[in-house]
Structure formats: structure tokens, C-alpha cells
Structure 1
Amino acid sequence: MAFHVPKAPGFSQMLKDGARHFQGLDEAVYRNIKACGELAKTTKTAFGPHGMNKMVINHIEKLFVTNDAATILKELEVEHPAAKMIVIACQMCEQEVGDGTNFVLIFAGALMTLAEELLRMGLSVPEVIEGYEQACEKAIELLPNFVCSSVEDLRDVGSVAQALKTPIASKQYGNEDFLAKLLAEACVSILPPTKIQFSVDNIRVSKLPGSGVNSSCKVSGMVFMRECESDIKTIRDPKVAVYSCPFDMLNTETKGTVLIKNAKELKSFSTGEEDLIEAQIKAIVDTGVNVIVSGGKVSDLALHFANKFKLMVVRLNSKWDLRRLCKTINATALPRLTAPTPEEMGHCSIVRQDEIGDRSVVIFEHTSQEGSKVCTLVLRASTSNILDDLERAVDDGVNNYKVLTRDNKMVPGAGATEIELANQIAKFGESCPGLEQYAIKKFAQALEVVPRALAENAGLKPTEIVSKLYASHQEEGGSKMGVDIETGDVIDVVDAAILDPYLVKHWALRLATNAAVTVLRVDQIIMAKAAGGPKPPKKSGDWDKDPDE
């Protein structure tokens, strides 16, 4: 069979029918820029403490009401390939430092929009890219000069709370003082006494509807939203045995058949079964154990003898909860219902069943600070949406604390760092001889997007605020001047304690620039013919049924 020879020249003639091909500035580059600009515009209004919430309904019709860009992007399921690159950059920032997602998105969007202006002026794509990369390197080089303070003691609750206040305020404005102090206490309480080693998984969250945000509290240990199986509800200084198997009789490895001829044999058989399970539970009690945690079902017979021997029985369905509990109380999860050795037992200060709101909870608590490896924050709020947003604020705060354990330096917030960077990068652009100086100046202009977004979302005049900031940054010692979103004035953000972690700014600048440059490098979009058979017709109801059914 001969090869198919296309009738007319052109790249699209080489592809199957149904394939699409776009090339050049108008078809490829400007399309990509527009898509990224639209995505950035979506989350720009959610930036800062006065950011508006977005109502997102995902593919399984779950409702999210939040201004957290990471959640919005995750649930939106962006399909456009260029916009997806920006989303990936945001996800990388979330993984690296746990914050700065919205900054990456709006800054990359601003870079792309300003790149379009440069391309329409007549600059080539390589010149724009070179200018952006030079400006980014200069920004990374200048950033350490703006460090204004650092968290000297990561075990001091007061200084840690001050550092966490700014990232929490962007999610929960008005509650940032209370939440920052609560989070600081939780993070500091689980630090090992000898070294600074922090894992975000050691801060757990339990969400209980009811009351208000200020009723949230910290528990040194773990909180499970369930009831005790046994009659005993509270035990102090317990010895805990953790089993990953059901709390029931041990089953034999082979099947057996018992032939029972009369009622006496039946009675003695059931008595033998009872004696066997009683002996098993007595062997556990003799080791000093008074709390049993089971990863499977709890049988009625076993529970009867547990109550007889005054054992407290807690059932956990999740194997992850079982593992975390073992970590909290220093226990070993046993696969069979056997008596534990002293090394396999867990210890804590108190195990109790409590009631918070109308929910029964079981709490494994350490009253001494040294014993706790896991800390749980019990969050309270009036609706599930507020609880979810509280959890995201806690997540941001915990990740920011982790960043501080890696690098404790802080830079001015409220747009002060961005305006000072813009000022110095614009001067650097003036000194560059080539055409890339236009791209460097546009990079500086793109940095204005942060104070502009803060001012716009607070109902202020963005251009007026930016001009005030530029004027104040020309004065001596003006590099710490940022925008006060309440009054619209320019304030010293270091005195106002509005500070951002240095590492978050560093990675956000780098990742946003890389994403923008990657999208600008694309000069052709080639889409192969979609695979698969005919698509189902778009109509309501069951499309398998005939219209007359």
C-alpha cells in the first residue's frame, strides 16, 4: 500500500484529519498569554487579607468557599496547556514552602501580560526571555539585602506567633492574633528538646462544628471523634496496648468441625470458648495494661470481659490513625491479641472520653510538654465552610513555621519588598545597553501587581497607593514602607510587624519567572487527533435509553 501524499504543502497536511496546529505570535504566543492572564485575573481578587472568596464546585459537586489559591486551582482542573504550566509552578511553590501560591500566579500573569506589550512593540521572544531571566537573577541577588529581622528563638511562642501572624491574616483576617498564638504554642510544643526538627504531619486538626473560632483549643496528644466501646471512660496514667487486629478470639489457621450430640456438650463448648477469651484478656491485664486500642471490630464477648476487668476499649477504623497514635504514645501496634511486653506498651498522662459541642471525642493527652510528639488543634466554627478555611489557614501557618526552621530570616510585607525590588531593578535596567533593558523594566513594573492587588481588594485606589509607595521608597530608610490596607496610608511595616518569610519570596520569584519564560518559549501548538470513538450526545437523562423509553 502506498504512502498518502498530501495535496498541498504545510505542516498540518502531515497530520491526521482532525488534528489542529497553531503557530506564530498571533496564533500561539498571544493565545497562551491571554489564557494565563485570565487565570491570574481570577485569583487576583482573592489576594491579601481583604481578598474575596471564590465559590468553587468541583467535579463531584462538592462546594468550596475559599480565597486560598492552592485550593481554587486544585479544584478547578485547568485544561489549557499553557495555563496548566502556571498551575504546576504554583503547586511546586506549595510543595517547596507551603505558601506563596497566589503570588506566583498573579506575578506570572503580570509578566505574561507585559511581555505581550513588548512583543507588539517589536521585540523578539528571546530578547524578552533574556531580560526576564536577568531581572530575576538580579531580584534574587538583591533580596537578602531587604532582610529586616529574623526569628532568633524558634522555641519562643511570642516571637513565633509574631512571625506567623502575616500568613494567617491573609486567610483569617481578624482572627490572626488568636490563631497565630494557638499555632505557635502547638508548633513549639512538639519540637524535640535537643534539636530543631519539625514535621508538618505532627500537627493534626479535628474540626468540630459549633461555637466560634475563639473556642478552638490545643491538645497535646490526639483527639478522635468517636466514643469508647467500654463502660470505663477515663483512666489516668494508663498503660496502652495497641492492636491492629479485631478485639476478639484468635481464629485458628484451619477450619474445624465440631459434632455436638446434646445440650450439655453445647454448653461446655460455649463455656470453653468463654474461658479461652477470658484467659487471653486476663493475660493482657496481668501485664498492667488498662487501655486497649483495636484496629478492628470489638466482639460483645470480649467487651464483656473487658468491662469485668475494668479495661477501657477504644476502636479506631483508620490504620493511619493507629500509626499516629502509636507515634504519640510510643507504642507498638501488635498484629495478634497477645500480652504486650513493657517495650510494646504506650504511655500518656490521661485517656478520657469528653463531649465537645454535641460530639463525643476520645482524647489521648500528654500533660507534660516533653512527652508529646503529636499535637492536635480542635477547631470550632459555625459552618463547615469556615472550618475548612480555618484548616487551610492552619496549614499555611504550620508550613510557614517549617520554612522558619530551614531559614529564619524575614523580609518586609504589605508590598514593601516588591516596590523596593521594582525600584532597584528599574535602575538596573537603565544600565543595560541591549534591547533586554525594556524587558527588565517590565519585570520591575510587574512587581507592582502585589501592592496594586492589596489596594484594589481593600477598596483603595491602586495607582495612588503605588505612587505613594514609590515616593516613600525614594527617601532615606524608606525600603520598609508598605501599604496599610485599613487607612490607605503608607506605613513602616517592620514597626507594624507585617513580615513575610524570606524563603517564600525567594522561591515565588524564581518559580513565577520560570513559568512565564517556559510559556513564552512556546511558538507552536500542535494537537493530535483525539483518540477514541464517537462521543456520547450531550443531553440530560440516560443517553443509553431510546427517546421513546
Structure 2
Amino acid sequence: MDSGAPSPQELPQRLWPGPSGSAAEEKHLLSSLAAAHTLARIIRPCYGPHGLQKLLVTAKGETVFTGYATAILGALDLEHPAARLLRDAALSQAQHSGDGVAFVVLLAEALLAQAERLLQAGLPRAQLREAYAAATAETLALLPLLAVRSLGPLEDPFWALHSVMNTHTLSHAEYLTKLVAQACWSAKELDGTFRPEQVGVCVVQGGQLEDSCLLPGLAVRGTPRGQVTMVQRGARVALFDCAFGPACPKAPSKARLSSPTDLLRFRTGSDILIERQVAQLAAAGVNVAVVRGDIEEKSLSQADKYGIMVIEVKSLRELVFLSEVLGTPLMPHLVAPQEPGKCQQVYPQELGEGLAVVFQWEPAGTPALTLVLRGATKEGLRGAEQAVYHGIDAFSQLCQDPRLLPGAGAAEMALAKLLADKGSALEGPTGPALLAFAQALRSLPAALAENAGLAVSAGMADMTASHQAGHCLAGVGPEGVINVAQEGVWDALATKARGLRTAAEVVLQLATVDEIVLAKDSPARQQDSDPHPRRAKDRASPVGRNK
């Protein structure tokens, strides 16, 4: 055994207050750390309610004004495999929880930076992975101890959703939060369960955000086509993600006519197919067809003949949403579903400068509500729509787990104190790993303070002193340290726990990578000009002839 290698008991002394200047200038031992630093540097200014926004130019050339980490990460074209792994993990957090994307990126970057320090202090990679896994389990076990409030089953969820929706891109956050809370509360089942698809969101440009409202039923952006513009009672809906007509309307065909009678009776095969398909829809009881695709004029005239209302929509997301609410599948061909969706009536309604189609049920059995968002600009509507989806996802999480953590960085600081106290008393690699997790968690309130325009060192010193004194509700505010309970800033425990677990899993994967090897495609082999390879093989070699 190398006598110069530090023992695990010496690691805390080697690590804190930090490595020497020469060690900091050495090449990164973790090949993924530089990529994580770059990704975090992009996301960090957008973190928190006082974060900044970015002008994002997408791959299609569109300019998007946004401060949401989900939109930024989704538009980035990344080449580094570690950056792609971290990006995909953060986006999975958005898919499952709807929030916490920036939290995952920043925490993973901070944990990787602390892992680098442990490696520089001499901790082997195998022991680092074991210590980080133990620290992750300890962190997740301590997190529920910090839950200080819960959303009651009969309680108005406004106060729990306000801090989630009060983002730096949203104006009139209080009014919009009231609408989301009312919609979620009305759509909740009697047994307390809640499905996010029960609350629809329809974005209509024009007006102001305070003109937003709730509509009974489900409203989608669409245009009625043909003569039938509404169904007042007994609507039976079929959804088609295909053209309303023949699959290949311009396919070449050849007709054989042998007599003048054949010419008089001649009709193309596509006309016969269209009439047969629309007749089958009418025979199945379908009187509303929602189509995402081209609508042929001949098919539309047949639909008018059978009294079928045809609605043209552009958004696949709204079509999928309709499928979930109505309980009928998306049909890839013009064939009637086995069980069409049912509602009371379907009618168009003008909303601002746009037109929407409303699917309405009986008042006692309305399975969905629609929050109609109004706004003057696309950027403002995009931010409001994202905030609404955050609120709906947060309510869904709270219906499953109603526990709440103190927000504004208070939970991270309190958790860091618990981990630091426990890590200082432990021997072996687990102690430094707990201290590393504590340091990484403290970087998140520091980012909030920096984005709020505060002096980071002074603000962190005040927060540390408050938590050392036992004030676990001390968080970062716009002017300094605040009491998060008095300000009403809360985080969902389930979302925070999932974000911690996701960030730790990414770090455990990247901590054991010592080198990134890029395997490129080899150039195509040159083909022999002779079409008969056996004959070419049997030929005498020109080198042999020269011998």
C-alpha cells in the first residue's frame, strides 16, 4: 500500500477549507465536469423567481423569449455525451413532475464539482461511488423531516400553488393562480384523485392576461368546415390523425370504358371509397369528426350529406388531450372507432382574435374544464401557459403527496446543516461525501441570492447564521433573508425528492467515467469495379507478374 496516499480519516482535513491553488489548476479528473459547468452556466441565471430570460434562437430559426429551463434545454443542440445525459435527465424531471429542471442541472453540477475535490484529495473512484450512494440515501431519508405543512383535502390550494406559478416570466400571477386553483379544485374527483388532463389550456392571442377565464367543457383551437357547424345534442366524436379523404388523392389511375353507358356511369374509385368511408362513419353513429390533416372537398361534401360536423385542428397535443378526455382512440385511417367519444354538444365560440371549438357535457358530469389564456404577445402567452402547466402538475403531485417543504432555498439550507452535522461526526468516506452534499446544496440558495441581486457572501452568511440558530424557515427574498412561512413560499416534497434522486443518479453514472471515447463511422470501402468478385480473386496479381 502506498504510504503517501491519504487515509479516509484525513480526507475532511484535506478538503475543507478547500484544495490548494495548485490542485485547483490541475486538469479535471472528471471528464464530464467541464460539460456540466457549461450547461449550468447557461441555466443558472434563469433559476428562481428573480431569474433572467434569454432570447433563444431555435434550430428552425425562430426567436423565443423565455426563461424556462425546460424550453432552453429542449432547444440546445449538444454534442458532449455527458451534457446530453444531464439534459435528458433534467427533461425527464419535467416530464414526471413538471418542475425542478433547473434544480436538477445545478445540483448535479455542484455534486460533480465536489466529487472532483474528493478525487483530488485521493479518494478512489470505487469508494467515491459507494460514499455518494450512501450520502444520497441519507439525504432522501432526511428530506421528509423538513416537511412543515400539508395541503388539506378540503383546503383551497391557492396558497400552495402561488409560489410554483409566481415565476419571473409571469405578470398577474395572483389572478392566474386563482383560476388554476379553481379549475383544479372543480375537476378533482370525490375520492380526492385528480387527473391533469381534466384541465385543458387554450391559448388565444389578443386582450390582456386578466381577460383569461374558465369555460365549462373542453375548448380546442379549431375551425369547423362544411355546412354543419354545431351539434346541439348527443354528439358522438371520432378523432383522426390523418387526411379526411383518400390516403393518396393524386395517385395515378386508369379506367377502361367499353361503352357509352360505362362513360355515363363512370366514377373514379376514390369517389366510391370516400362515399363508403363517410357512410360507415354515419352508420357507426359518428356526427363529429375532428381531423388533423388535409380535408378533401369531396369528402367534406359527403360529410355534409350525412350531417357530420368536420373540425380541422392543427395541434397534435390538443388532439391527444381530446382522446384522453373523451376516452376514444386516435384513428390513423378514416375508419370509425369501436367506441366514439360522447358529449352533450359541440359548438364554435369566438375568443378574442381566434376561434375555438367547445366540447360541453352535462353540468353535473363535466369531466373537464378549460382555462382560456388571453394575452397581447406570444412571449407573454408562452410564459403564462408554462406557469399554468406548472400549477396543474403541482396540484397533481399534492393530491398524491400533500406534504410541503419551505421554499426559497430554506429546505436546501436546512438539509445542508443536517448533513454537515452528521458528516463531521462520521469517519471513513461517507463523512466527506455528506459534507460534499451539504456544500452542493448550499450552492442553490447562493444562486437564488445572486439572481435576486443580493450580495451573495453576506446573504449566505446571514442564512447560515439563521439556520445555525435553529430558524429552519429562513430563505432568500428579494431584499435579504425572509421567513418563508410568512411569505407563503413552498415547494412540493415529492417534486424535490424526485429532483434530488435524479441529480444523484446522473452524478453516480458520470463519477466513474474516466474517459470519453468517440467512435466515428469508418469511410466506406471502395467497391471493386469487377461485378464478379470471384473472377477478380482468381486473376493473377500484377505484383506477382513483375517478379
TM-score between the two structures when normalised by the length of structure 1: 0.75
Helix, strand or coil at the partner of 2:422:
helix
Which residue in 1 is equivalent to 2:59?
Answer: 59
Helix, strand or coil at the partner of 2:472:
helix
Matched, 1:382 2:376: yes
Q: 1:369 to 1:327 in 2, by over 3 A?
A: farther
Which residue in 2 is equivalent to 1:531?
Answer: 521
Matched, 1:168 2:158: no
Which residue in 1 is equivalent to 2:349?
Answer: 354
Which residue in 2 is equivalent to 1:218?
Answer: 214
Matched, 1:460 2:451: no
State which of 183, 186, 208 in structure 2 corresponds to 1:186.
183
Matched, 1:480 2:473: yes
1:75-112 deviations in whole A, cap 9, x for unaligned?
21322233333323323323342321111111121222
Helix, strand or coil at the partner of 1:525:
coil
Contact 2:219 2:357 in 1 (8 A): yes
- d(CA) in 1 for partners of 2:138, 2:362: 50
- d(CA) in 1 for partners of 2:308, 2:51: 52
Contact 1:161 1:184 in 2 (8 A): yes
- Measured after TM superposition, the shift of residue 149 of structure 1 is 1.4
Q: 1:446 to 1:281 in 2, by over 3 A?
A: closer
Which residue in 2 is equivalent to 1:75?
Answer: 75
Contact 1:28 1:525 in 2 (8 A): no
State which of 516, 528, 534 in structure 1 corresponds to 2:507.
516
Contact 1:193 1:370 in 2 (8 A): no
Contact 2:161 2:391 in 1 (8 A): yes
Helix, strand or coil at the partner of 1:159:
coil
Letter in 1 for 2:418: Q
Contact 1:469 1:481 in 2 (8 A): yes
- Measured after TM superposition, the shift of residue 231 of structure 1 is 4.5
Helix, strand or coil at the partner of 1:363:
strand
Q: % of aligned pairs identical?
A: 29
Contact 1:164 1:397 in 2 (8 A): yes
Q: 1:45 to 1:233 in 2, by over 3 A?
A: same
| Farther-moved stretch of structure 1 (41-50 vs 402-411) | 402-411
- d(CA) in 2 for partners of 1:51, 1:507: 23
Number of residue pairs the alignment of both structures matches: 492
Contact 2:209 2:375 in 1 (8 A): yes
- Measured after TM superposition, the shift of residue 147 of structure 1 is 1.0
Which residue in 1 is equivalent to 2:436?
Answer: 442
Contact 1:247 1:337 in 2 (8 A): no
Which residue in 2 is equivalent to 1:364?
Answer: 359
1:300-353 deviations in whole A, cap 9, x for unaligned?
677668778987543457787666546545678897799x9xx96654344222
Contact 2:221 2:313 in 1 (8 A): no
- d(CA) in 2 for partners of 1:305, 1:431: 80
- Measured after TM superposition, the shift of residue 452 of structure 1 is 0.9
- d(CA) in 2 for partners of 1:451, 1:108: 15
- d(CA) in 2 for partners of 1:85, 1:248: 43
Contact 1:216 1:380 in 2 (8 A): yes
Contact 2:235 2:346 in 1 (8 A): no
- d(CA) in 2 for partners of 1:97, 1:332: 25
| Farther-moved stretch of structure 1 (457-466 vs 396-405) | 396-405
Which residue in 2 is equivalent to 1:101?
Answer: 101
Matched, 1:451 2:445: yes
Q: 1:405 to 1:488 in 2, by over 3 A?
A: same
Which residue in 1 is equivalent to 2:482?
Answer: 490
Which residue in 2 is equivalent to 1:45?
Answer: 45
Q: 1:175 to 1:317 in 2, by over 3 A?
A: closer
Contact 1:206 1:376 in 2 (8 A): yes
State which of 488, 493, 498 in structure 2 corresponds to 1:502.
493
- d(CA) in 1 for partners of 2:32, 2:275: 71
The correspondence of residues 62-461 of structure 1 with structure 2, limited to 5 A, is: 62-126=62-126, 128-153=128-153, 159-170=156-167, 172-194=169-191, 196-198=193-195, 200-231=196-227, 233-240=229-236, 242=238, 244=240, 261=260, 312-316=309-313, 324-325=321-322, 328-329=325-326, 347-366=342-361, 368=363, 370-372=365-367, 374-434=368-428, 436-461=430-455
Contact 2:170 2:387 in 1 (8 A): no
Q: Extract unaligned runs of 5+ from structure 1.
A: 1-24, 535-549
Q: 1:494 to 1:227 in 2, by over 3 A?
A: same
Helix, strand or coil at the partner of 2:225:
coil
| Farther-moved stretch of structure 1 (76-85 vs 450-459) | 76-85
Contact 1:212 1:381 in 2 (8 A): yes
- Measured after TM superposition, the shift of residue 416 of structure 1 is 0.9
Letter in 2 for 1:512: A
Q: 1:415 to 1:231 in 2, by over 3 A?
A: same
- d(CA) in 2 for partners of 1:212, 1:317: 24
Contact 2:108 2:503 in 1 (8 A): yes
Helix, strand or coil at the partner of 2:418:
helix
- d(CA) in 1 for partners of 2:222, 2:254: 35
Letter in 2 for 1:459: G
- Measured after TM superposition, the shift of residue 499 of structure 1 is 0.8
TM-score between the two structures when normalised by the length of structure 2: 0.75
Contact 2:287 2:308 in 1 (8 A): yes
Helix, strand or coil at the partner of 2:515:
strand
Helix, strand or coil at the partner of 2:29:
helix
- d(CA) in 1 for partners of 2:243, 2:111: 58
Letter in 2 for 1:159: D
Contact 1:50 1:173 in 2 (8 A): no
Helix, strand or coil at the partner of 2:157:
helix
Q: CA RMSD in A?
A: 4.2
Q: 1:48 to 1:269 in 2, by over 3 A?
A: same
- d(CA) in 2 for partners of 1:97, 1:82: 23
- d(CA) in 2 for partners of 1:395, 1:56: 21
Letter in 1 for 2:517: M
